[in-house]
Structure 1
């Protein structure tokens, strides 16, 4: 009898905990989608429905993440370009926009000053286009960021490039706000 009661208690606890995390995850996803829509509305350029990335760089889309915070306080300070770990791209492009050059430069300077540190550059695309095309585009985006870093003295051995294409979206959705968030290169330091 005690084992059955214990089993029932554990099952109830598991269901209760899993329900909470699903609600929190859904709330976070909805908030991200709402933020994406707000950015799209605020930064529309009118050119083929694409929005300007300067709106993303100057607003809530700073790419500030906790992924690299283990490296030091400068990676958590929203005023420091090292805290930004996402580079956004225009539709069907691997050209780095001027607003993101200071971010790439800061990470390159950090890597040059810390030659044992390694960085993974993940290239991503939105869901439009074939899977093969999106893998190639994600690769071009990662290579564009890597090329800028190498020009500043970052060694090949410090960089790992991966393209996920459309397979790991930052935001789920089939609207321009979601597409903007998914056209990116992520900078992730290795522990």
Structure 2
């Protein structure tokens, strides 16, 4: 009898945790907001939907908002160039949006080195978008270095996810 009460409580607790987890993610673009990473983001989350090609959700999920980089690199790989070209095309087709390009690094190295590397990564993405035709005035960059990892562990699988840029959309004119 005591086991049945404990088992029932455990199932109820598990169900409650699962329900809270799902409701916490709904409509926010995931656990970390519309930017798809710990970098956060203030982009609109209610305009449009994934099926609407002019929506931020479509941009994030169908095109992708992240570009990954090799160790100690800020140059765009051919795959990254293809992704950034698609991001640029979307921005040119959706003039109501501006973008902040976040630069990130893994936890290896000093804070100063990683802030500079994150800045170079964000600039590489911005410069490539401008070369594709996106107005420079619609793009800003910010670096977080190693301060906002999306994966935390001392392993290459985590480091690889943290070496990135994230394109965060905002509605309205650029500032």
Mapped to 2, the partners of 1:175 and 1:137 lie a distance apart of 19
Partner residue of 1:185 out of 153, 156, 165: 165
- The answer for unaligned runs of 5 or more in structure 2 is 1-12, 23-34
Pair 157,92 (structure 1): closer, same or farther in 2 beyond 3 Å = same
Mapped to 1, the partners of 2:60 and 2:129 lie a distance apart of 21
Partner residue of 1:100 out of 71, 80, 84: 80
Pair 129,79 (structure 1): closer, same or farther in 2 beyond 3 Å = closer
- The answer for unaligned runs of 5 or more in structure 1 is 1-15, 26-63
1:157 Cα offset (Å): 1.4
1:24 Cα offset (Å): 5.4
- Which residue of the partner structure matches residue 150 of structure 2? 170
Q: TM-score, normalised by structure 2?
A: 0.66
Alignment of 1:110-129 (within 5 A): 110-129=90-109
Pair 113,77 (structure 1): closer, same or farther in 2 beyond 3 Å = closer
Mapped to 1, the partners of 2:141 and 2:116 lie a distance apart of 12
Pair 131,171 (structure 1): closer, same or farther in 2 beyond 3 Å = same
Contact 1:116 1:158 in 2 (8 A): no
1:79 Cα offset (Å): 8.5
Q: TM-score, normalised by structure 1?
A: 0.61
1:143 paired to 2:123? yes
Mapped to 2, the partners of 1:163 and 1:127 lie a distance apart of 14
SS of residue paired to 2:103: strand
Pair 176,151 (structure 1): closer, same or farther in 2 beyond 3 Å = same
Alignment of 1:1-191 (within 5 A): 20=17, 65=36, 70=47, 72=49, 73=51, 74=53, 75-76=57-58, 80=62, 82=63, 84-191=64-171
Matched residues, number? 134
Mapped to 1, the partners of 2:58 and 2:95 lie a distance apart of 21
